[in-house]
Amino acid sequence: WVQILNKMYQPDISCSSQQDYFKYATGMFLWEYLYANYGSKTMHLVLLDFKSGKSFEEAIQKELNLSLVELNAKLSEHLVHVFADDN
């Protein structure tokens, strides 16, 4: 999952409609995780930072105090739980 997440931060890569759907669906699970674990106010601040020109990595470093590597590790664990555990 970490390798997949690392590739998802490259919006300039053209994807097929199936890949776009995969990115959207995966992003939905991840965004729900971030809201549940960091709260809507913090995630709103991430979006404001992102909107103001910071990269996503800069925004999460500032607001979540995590590097992109650390965040991807946490998100990967969550995706394993969502997709691999008996859910």
Whether the per-residue pLDDT at 79 is higher than 80: the answer is yes
pLDDT tens-place string over residues 5-18: 776 665 555 555 66
Nearest by Cα to 9 from 64, 75, 84, 65? 75
Query: Are 35 and 43 within 8 A, CB to CB?
Result: yes
Q: What is the mean pLDDT of residues 25-32?
A: 85
pLDDT tens-place string over residues 51-78: 899 988 899 999 999 998 899 899 888 8
- Helix (H) or strand (E) holding 9, with range, is none
What end-to-end distance do the CA atoms of the chain give, in Å? Answer: 18
Integer Cα distance of 72 and 7 in angstroms: 11
- pTM of this prediction? 0.70
